[in-house]
């Protein structure tokens, strides 16, 4: 059996094998969407299907919505060509539960799949529709960049500035062109909702959209009235916080589906190294908090578990997650997972010392200074992270992946908590252990003396250079003091807050011999 609209006619076949089918009239939903689209999403990756498409399916099942989602992909058209269209835009969402069971949910909420490369005129028509309430985005943080590290515009962006709105080459240029089409059609209100996992995402989206639009105005491609419309209350850029672990398609999940008798569901790797399949696997827990600013109305997504709040609350939720309840724990496990030879996060959670470290970072040193957003309870959130999410064996996430760009993460994930402890920061133990662990990690040698390749990081070579004279079996710390004094990396000068010497001491302990990393954790962490 293949995943197609025609195959769904045999409901008994699917239900006998435990699949949850759509509870609505799919042709009717598709017709309603084509006649009056309400939701266009940009970015057809896995989190879109596992989270947003499933949320809309819940609304449709509950009769809280009449239309579905139109999705467009602007970076990797093969996602549409190889994962969506062969299956009539259907997907199977495999919910990976901590008790080792699976929920298999057939999603039909995606009505149409498009590519910016081939379907731009169709996208203009959708963007111009007065019924459209939201354009949401999951395009990754890199999708918002229009300049390189030297501040120069990327060639595609520079070409767009010169050529105008007819057929942009860049992702942001395409979005601004769609907005221009909407303005030309009468300028109905609209919310542009970034659902990418980055702080102040709505603010960042607005900034890059406005920069692009003003460049077009300066070049004479768009009228000042268009820019004024973007700046008005008719166009909103709500902030959001999204959290759901959605890894690559798992071959083990594919085997389970194939055992049911499904064909043609193997994952493929696109030319741009995107892993896609007709199914998507993800953890059961999820969080989406959205600033309630929708000038053209919105879908009742709160009935599908989405939380709506004011901007300040969204920011507090983001701060809670990033500085206390999830990201610091993730980074701690990433660093020590690499040092102790682990290749999966869930396996680390079975390690007594690493579990103690995770709990100490979150509960002992994070919770006392957490920013409580009110809408979510911080302790409950950490409880789910430590007891449900990270130990889930179905989530094949690796410390090596999470260790990417660690130098860019330490300031926000640990520096903020250090500052919050104020004069008491010198009493911290778990956080300085993590920072010492990162210094030890930079040597590229694990706790058994085996070399490993450090994950990509823009400041890796610089940081390693400060430690070039540091070796296992020696107490000489080389340029460690210069490294630990770098407030750009750590958010503070660690010596100014009474932690520099403590980190040095932990690092010396870890350098004593093979096995010293684990011995250091055992020495300083509570039973």
Q: What is the per-residue pLDDT for 447?
A: 98
Task: Name the DSSP letter for residue 158.
Answer: H
DSSP string, 408-428: GTHIIIIIHHHHHHGGGGGG-
Distance CA 212, CA 165 (A): 11
**Chain region(s) in the chain for CATH 1.10.1040.10:** 313-524
Distance of CA 452 to the CA centre of its chain: 26
Count of Cβ atoms closer than 10 Å to residue 167 Cβ: 13
Q: Compute the Cα dihedral for 345, 491, 319, 373 and give only its sign.
A: positive
Q: Give pLDDT tens digits for 367-403.
A: 999 989 999 999 999 999 999 999 988 887 899 989 9
Residue 144 · residue 103 · CB < 8 Å = no
| pLDDT computed for residue 508 by the predictor | 97
Q: What is the pLDDT of residue 395?
A: 80
CA distance 1 to 198: 40
Give the Cβ contact number of residue 362 at 10 Å: 25
CATH topology of domain 7-309: Rossmann fold (3.40.50)
| Spatial distance between the Cα atoms of 5 and 378, rounded to a whole number of angstroms | 43
Q: Is 94 helix (H, G, I), strand (E, B) or coil?
A: strand
pLDDT digits (tens, 9 = 90+) for 171-208: 999 999 999 999 999 999 999 999 998 889 999 999 99
Q: DSSP 3-state assignment of 238?
A: coil
User: What does the pLDDT read at residue 269?
Assistant: 93
Pull the structure tokens for residue 29: 């939903």
How distant, in Å, are the alpha carbons of 1, 175, 366 from that of 10? 10, 40, 52
DSSP secondary structure, 475-515, as one string: ---TTHHHHHT-HHHHSS-TTTTT-HHHHHHHHHHHTSSTT
Cα-based torsion angle of the residue sequence 366, 367, 368, 372 in order, rounded to the nearest 10 degrees:
120
pLDDT of the residue at 99: 78
Cα–Cα distance measured from residue 242 to residue 506, given in angstroms and rounded to the nearest whole number: 35
| Contact between 156 and 164 (Cβ < 8 Å) | no
Q: How far apart are CA 55 and CA 89, in angstroms?
A: 16
pLDDT computed for residue 527 by the predictor: 62
- Could you tell me the maximum CA-CA distance found in the chain, to the nearest angstrom? 72
Decide: residue 101, CB within 10 A, 0-12 exposed, 13-18 middle, 19+ buried. Answer: exposed
3-state secondary structure of 459: coil
Counting as low any pLDDT under 50, the low residues of the chain are none
For CATH 3.40.50.720, list the domain ranges present in the chain: 7-309
Measured CA to CA, the distance from residue 173 to residue 166 in angstroms comes to 10
Contacts of 295 (CB under 8 A, 6+ apart): 189, 190, 191, 233, 234, 235, 236
Residue 97 pLDDT: 85
Measured CA to CA, the distance from residue 312 to residue 373 in angstroms comes to: 9
The answer to whether 33 and 112 are in contact (CB under 8 A) is yes
> Helix 516-524 crosses helix 500-510 at what angle (to 10 degrees)?
130
pLDDT digits over 5-36, tens only?
Answer: 999 999 999 999 999 999 999 999 999 999 99
φ and ψ at residue 193, rounded to 5 degrees: -115, 100
* CA distance from start to end of the chain: 53
Are 372 and 315 within 8 A, CB to CB?
Answer: no
CATH domain 313-524 topology:
1.10.1040
Consecutive H or E run containing 520: helix 516-524
Give pTM, 2 decimals. Answer: 0.91
105 - beta bridge partners? Answer: 20, 93
The structure tokens listed for 453 are 């390749």
The DSSP-derived string for 239-292 is -EEEE----SPPHHHHHHHHHTT-BS---EE-TT--EE-SEEEEES--EEEEE-
- CA angle, 135 as apex, 88 and 180 as ends, to 5°? 115
DSSP string, 325-393: ISHHHHHHHHHHHHHTT---HHHHTTSHHHHHHHHIIIIITTGGG----SSS-HHHHHHHIIIIITT-T
């Amino acid at each position: 059996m293949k995943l197609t609209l025609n195959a769904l006619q045999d409901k008994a076949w699917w239900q006998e094998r435990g699949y949850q089918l759509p509870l609505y009239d799919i042709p009717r939903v598709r017709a309603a969407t084509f006649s009056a689209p309400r939701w266009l999403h940009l970015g057809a990756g896995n989190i879109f299907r596992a989270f947003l498409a499933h949320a809309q399916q819940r609304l449709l099942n509950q009769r809280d919505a009449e239309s579905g989602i139109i999705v467009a992909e602007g970076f990797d058209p093969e996602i549409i060509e190889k994962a969506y269209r062969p299956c009539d835009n259907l997907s199977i969402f495999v919910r990976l539960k901590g008790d080792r069971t699976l929920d298999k949910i057939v999603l039909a909420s995606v009505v149409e799949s498009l590519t910016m490369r081939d379907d731009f005129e169709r996208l203009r028509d959708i963007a111009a529709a007065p019924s459209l309430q939201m354009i949401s985005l999951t395009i990754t943080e890199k999708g918002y960049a229009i300049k390189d590290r030297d501040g120069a515009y990327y060639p595609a962006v520079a070409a767009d500035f010169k050529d105008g709105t007819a057929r942009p080459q860049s992702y942001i240029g395409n979005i601004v062109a769609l907005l221009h089409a909407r303005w030309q059609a009468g300028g109905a209100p609209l919310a542009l909702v970034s659902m990418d996992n980055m702080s102040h995402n709505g603010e960042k989206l607005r900034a890059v959209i406005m920069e692009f639009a003003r460049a077009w105005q300066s070049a004479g491609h768009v009228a000042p009235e268009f820019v004024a419309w973007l700046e008005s209350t008719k166009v909103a850029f709500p902030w959001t916080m999204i959290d759901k672990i959605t890894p690559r398609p798992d071959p083990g999940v594919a085997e389970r589906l194939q055992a049911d008798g499904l064909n043609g569901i193997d994952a493929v790797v696109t030319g741009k190294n995107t892993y896609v399949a007709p199914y998507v696997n993800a953890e059961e827990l999820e969080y989406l908090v959205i600033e309630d600013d929708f000038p053209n109305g919105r879908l009742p997504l709160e009935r599908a578990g989405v939380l709506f709040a004011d901007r300040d609350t969204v920011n507090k939720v983001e701060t809670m997650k990033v500085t206390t309840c999830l990201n610091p724990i993730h980074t701690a496990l990433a660093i020590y997972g690499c040092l102790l030879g682990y290749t999966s996060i869930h396996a680390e959670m079975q390690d007594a010392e690493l579990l103690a470290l995770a709990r100490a970072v979150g509960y002992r040193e994070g919770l006392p200074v957490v920013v409580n957003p009110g809408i979510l309870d911080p302790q409950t959130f950490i409880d789910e992270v430590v007891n449900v999410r990270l130990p889930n064996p179905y989530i094949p996430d690796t410390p090596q992946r999470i260790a990417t760009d660690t130098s860019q993460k330490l300031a926000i994930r640990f520096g903020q908590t250090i500052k919050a402890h104020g004069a008491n920061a010198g009493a911290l133990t778990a956080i300085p252990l993590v920072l010492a662990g990162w210094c030890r990690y930079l040597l590229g040698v694990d706790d058994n003396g085996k070399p490993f390749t450090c994950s990509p990081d823009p400041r890796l070579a610089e940081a390693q250079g400060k430690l070039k004279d540091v070796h296992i079996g020696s107490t000489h710390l080389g340029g460690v003091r210069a490294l630990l004094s770098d407030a750009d990396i750590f958010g503070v000068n660690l010596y100014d807050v009474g932690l520099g010497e403590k980190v040095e001491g932990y690092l010396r302990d870890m350098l004593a011999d093979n096995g010293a990393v684990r011995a250091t954790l055992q020495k300083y962490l509570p039973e």
